[in-house]
Structure 1
Amino acid sequence: MWALRRASANSIRAQGLNVAAFRACAGLGQFSGHTEDKSKNCEHRGLMRDRWITSNACQCTVHFPNKFSAGSRSLSSEAGAKSGGEEEDDLEEGFSELETPDPSVSTGGGVEDSDSSSDSESDLSSVDENTEETLEAELLKGAGEMSSAKKLGHSPLLKLLFEESGSSLSKALDNYATEGKDLNRAEVYHALLNLRRRKMFSKALQLSEWLDKREDFELTERDYASRVDLIAKVRGLHKAETFIDTIPKSHRQEVVYRTLLANCVSLTNVAKSEEIFNKMKDLGFPISPFTCNQLLVLYKRTDKKKIADVLLMMEKDDIKPTLFTYQLLIDTKGLSNDIIGMEQIVETMRAEGVKPNFRVQATLARHYAFGGLKEKAEAILQEMEGDDLNSNRGVCPILLLIYANLGKADDVERLWKVCEPKPREGDYLAAIEAFGKLKNVEQAEAVYHKMEKSIKKLSTRHYSCMLKVYAENKMLGKGKQLLKQMGNSGCQIGPVAWDAVVKLYVDAGEVEKADSILLKATSQNQQKRPLFSSYISILDQYAKRGDIHNAEKMFLRMKQAGYVSRARPFSALLQAYINAKVPAYGFRERMKADNIFPNKGLAGQLAQVDAFSKNAVSDLLD
């Protein structure tokens, strides 16, 4: 059907994907059946295992639950053991929890990033992050009006939306319509697109709800799906799911449910994501590549072994992989440090006639850089630059950051000189971060001050970018000054800013201060969840000290925030016990209760704390 099988180091068949090929694509290692204990654990949660599927090609057995077999498109969160691999939890917030918006799109300056959802979880890999942009394209797809909408610039409607807020916005929109001003679909889509890209989801929702009340504006299926997305972002998944029940049945189709699924995935809510997917299957909706990509994103973060299950389902239902599918698989390989496997997927992609875009190239270059393959990374970066960088400005933010990771100060300077005459917002942020990585704080400050003058009102992301530089260079004093400036500006402080502040104090050695700041921030604003990296950076410091008491407290707070459905927090907590040289009684049971099964690294840590237990008994006997 499609040639991902070529990524496998095993023999290539003429037709059909085998499990070995999936394993090679996803960086999964050897598949095996579940142990008896794991099966019992799943059955206890109300799941039945009634089917075994054997792949003779790879001499392994894959055990699926009743709700997820090769003949169905249904998933269960309890199927299979959790991948023990650690997630890529470094903060790469750039813009939001989802990847940097297309650098070729200038969002301009002077727009307040005022939404409650503007600072969301950002502990994901840079590939996962463009899901938001993909969702945006899906929701605003199709309308021939979009091409003309792009030419509207700052339309009267958009200007009104920027100027008004709260209850006055609805009145202003009523007046706008009363005055007989144009409300065609192109202008509405243009306004929604701009609000989304500025993360002004509350205003976008207000506009959507206002349009719903107007008889002269007929809502389409994608309009309803867009509304579901905005409700999920502003009011939560439960409200969004409730709203779906009110949508006319003729418009309550697959795109509406897959939009809700995308929001479940963005929050890494495995149980709800799988529940929505199963509901889509039960309703008989066709499963789109977009939906499959959402599942790949989810399992890439939480359980890499299930990536093979999704690929098997795609083959069974003849769902063609998209460019983003390949990018996800390439990134998964790269994160597993499997460069050969990553390159095999690229070969497969090219053989299928899919040309890598700049995002795929950036993913490859990033992994080559972190893998120490500088020559390969530089070759890709030069290809991305092209012959005339001035006409290819959209790639500059990506190039700046990867050159900085390679330690190429001259190239970072060269690229900034290209951007400096007329920088875009993404250029500013990337340059600040790049100079910070190179320890050139003075130049990072120069770029920041230039940005400060050119942008009417700085938002959280602007301040946070500079705060990260001060944190990485352990400049606590300057960081505090910038925090005061941020507070005086009236800028809304959310999870991204909290993370920058936490990192600032953690890197300065003031872990207790970082802990108290995070605790105070979450108690003052319970609607926002701190980033995973905020919690884990503090937990790691307590672990290094062997401070079990505070490590357990932080672990509990992470669990309450919904961040313990992965191996990383357990590993950090185990390290606290190891460093304290104290046995961790019942730890395996704690992990099993959260459906976390030890990988090689965790198994080694558990063996160390078990050794402490034996030594303690020996001491008593002696």
Structure 2
Amino acid sequence: MKSKISSNGSNGLFQKISTFRDPKASIVPVLDQYIREGNKVKAADLQRFVRELRSRKRYLHALQLSEWVNTNNYCRDSSGNHAVQLDLIGAVRGIDAAENYFSNLTDKEKDERTYGALLNCYTREGVVDKSLSLMQTMKEIGFVTSPLAYNNLMCLYSRTDQPEKVLDLLSEMKKNGIPPNNFSYRICINTCGDQLDFNSMEKLLEEMESQPQITMDWSTYSTAVNHYINGDHKDKALVVLKKLEKINKDAIGYSHLISHYAKLGSKDQVMRLWGLQKVICKKQVNRDYITMLGMLVRLGEFEECTKVLKEWESSCRTFDFRVPNVLFIGLCSKGLTEKAETLLKNMIGTGKTTIPNSWAIISFGYLQMINLEKAFECMKEALAVSQESPGWKPKPVLISSLLQWLGEEGKITDVEAFVSSLRSVIPVNREMYHALIKANIRGGEGVDEIIERMKSDKIDADEDTMRILNSQTDGSE
């Protein structure tokens, strides 16, 4: 049985690697230090770690680990290991490096897996000529015995807008006695859907369902449903959704089903599935509530949203403001910003510590209502709790609008305080200084000190700056 990643034994090393923050820095020093500390690592675990990093698209660190494993002789040479390393080299260093690695392999090491890895490098980069040439070579030496190589070419044709060739490859596979797998069919179904060829898509689904080697999967049905919905084939979408529900086994599946039915505008089905999810899956996490609220917002069912939100508040173990933020966004988009603000204040009144984005959402809602004074007050609240969310940045259009309004109507003290708070979350910019200059001119104050501060921040005056300064002498802007 595959061991779970934990903090014990070899897996302690994976903990260090997986939490390594800098995606561009080398993990080799971490690996070397781990060994110097007297820790032992298992070859099988190291290979598993490479695959896990690769699945997370952390290709650089996966390659560094793979090369470290080989350099330190933790794993014996095998075509499988070479195939993984070749694919990672292509992803990190490019096709030339991958070709060079492949050319240095022995004839014994150049088997279907390593040829397939090189083909994947070509198709991933969209190199059509080399992909087709290598595929022909693989056919000639008998290295195309599974759907993998065909699937790679199908993906290539999909990305290079050659849909007719995708379906030709499916026919060729079957003619050559290579049974298509789920991924093969899914690429073809997606291709037909993109071309609005729903008759062919339906035939592919029926063919797939009749194949003894195929177990119908969630992804394929869900892909078909999306195309039917986008193509306004509601009845066909509903037929596939019923099949989808029969093979659903978890909360994530219910979330997808709820999303599909919301797109179809079916509130009854959304509520039915939400009820089923709560019964069958027992426990709902924040992600489930985010999905449900998002779909109810899509349907415009704000009263139901309020009920679901109360249900979440009474049951959640971790109060995550991203959950109510979904409702805040929906309310603001419908011009119900005051209601969103009231809900937020009620939550804060129960002792919850908000995050800046909640206030920023409501501030943006007031901006859309052309209520700049309220937008400003809400943004001040956001900045006051910005330390709760390091790295948070407000929308540039919101800040730009507020600075322009403050420059034209705000008190000098308000502008100074706002700009001072802003500097803690975004880099100082010319718009901040323009607001300060405008406010000081309106208040009859000098601007020499502000100009000096602007220079010290290495922000040059532009045409707008000069226009604003000239207004000081001609009495107009």
Q: In 2, Cα distance between the equivalents of 1:207 and 1:330?
A: 37
Structure 1 unaligned spans of 5+: 1-146, 494-499, 503-622
- 1:218-262 deviations in Å (ceiling 9; x for gaps): 242222222222222223333223222233442222212322323
Please report how far the alpha carbon of residue 211 of structure 1 lies from its aligned counterpart in structure 2 after TM superposition: 0.6
Q: In 2, Cα distance between the equivalents of 1:236 and 1:454?
A: 44
Residue among 215, 231, 241 paired with 1:371 = 231
Q: What's the TM-score, normalizing by structure 1? A: 0.44
Tell me whether 1:161 sits opposite 2:161 in the alignment: no
Residue equivalent to 1:336? 195
Q: Judging changes above 3 Å, is the alpha-carbon distance between structure 1 residues 470 and 212 closer, same or farther for their aligned structure 2 residues?
A: farther
Please report how far the alpha carbon of residue 210 of structure 1 lies from its aligned counterpart in structure 2 after TM superposition: 1.0
Q: Judging changes above 3 Å, is the alpha-carbon distance between structure 1 residues 283 and 402 closer, same or farther for their aligned structure 2 residues?
A: same
Tell me whether 1:252 sits opposite 2:114 in the alignment: no
Q: Give the aligned residue type for 1:159.
A: Q
Please report how far the alpha carbon of residue 357 of structure 1 lies from its aligned counterpart in structure 2 after TM superposition: 1.7
Q: Does structure 1 conserve the Cα–Cα contact (< 8 Å) formed by 2:255 and 2:292? A: yes
Q: Does structure 2 conserve the Cα–Cα contact (< 8 Å) formed by 1:435 and 1:441? A: yes
Tell me whether 1:234 sits opposite 2:92 in the alignment: yes
Q: In 2, Cα distance between the equivalents of 1:152 and 1:326?
A: 33
Q: State how 1:28-427 maps to structure 2 within 5 Å.
A: 147-149=1-3, 151-153=4-6, 155-164=11-20, 169-281=27-139, 285-301=143-159, 302-353=161-212, 354-386=214-246, 391-412=249-270, 418=278, 421-423=283-285
Q: What's the TM-score, normalizing by structure 2? A: 0.56
Q: Does structure 2 conserve the Cα–Cα contact (< 8 Å) formed by 1:386 and 1:392? A: no
> SS of the counterpart of 1:244?
helix
Q: Judging changes above 3 Å, is the alpha-carbon distance between structure 1 residues 436 and 178 closer, same or farther for their aligned structure 2 residues?
A: farther
Q: In 2, Cα distance between the equivalents of 1:351 and 1:182?
A: 50
Q: Judging changes above 3 Å, is the alpha-carbon distance between structure 1 residues 420 and 401 closer, same or farther for their aligned structure 2 residues?
A: farther
Please report how far the alpha carbon of residue 161 of structure 1 lies from its aligned counterpart in structure 2 after TM superposition: 0.5
Residue equivalent to 1:59? none
- 1:271-322 deviations in Å (ceiling 9; x for gaps): 4433442453466533531111121222234212223442353244322222
Q: In 1, Cα distance between the equivalents of 2:199 and 2:258?
A: 26
Q: Judging changes above 3 Å, is the alpha-carbon distance between structure 1 residues 355 and 176 closer, same or farther for their aligned structure 2 residues?
A: same
Q: Does structure 2 conserve the Cα–Cα contact (< 8 Å) formed by 1:436 and 1:472? A: no
Residue equivalent to 1:576? none
Q: Judging changes above 3 Å, is the alpha-carbon distance between structure 1 residues 396 and 168 closer, same or farther for their aligned structure 2 residues?
A: same
Please report how far the alpha carbon of residue 358 of structure 1 lies from its aligned counterpart in structure 2 after TM superposition: 1.6
Q: In 1, Cα distance between the equivalents of 2:289 and 2:65?
A: 30
Q: In 2, Cα distance between the equivalents of 1:283 and 1:344?
A: 34
Q: Give the aligned residue type for 1:404.
A: A
Structure 2 unaligned spans of 5+: 336-360, 369-378, 398-477
> SS of the counterpart of 1:286?
coil
**Identical positions, percent:** 27
> SS of the counterpart of 2:172?
helix
Q: Which has the higher relative contact order, 1 or 2, with Cα contacts under 8 A spaced 6 or more apart?
A: 1
Q: Does structure 2 conserve the Cα–Cα contact (< 8 Å) formed by 1:369 and 1:377? A: yes
- Larger radius of gyration between Structure 1 and Structure 2: 2
> SS of the counterpart of 1:305?
helix
Q: Give the aligned residue type for 1:177.
A: I
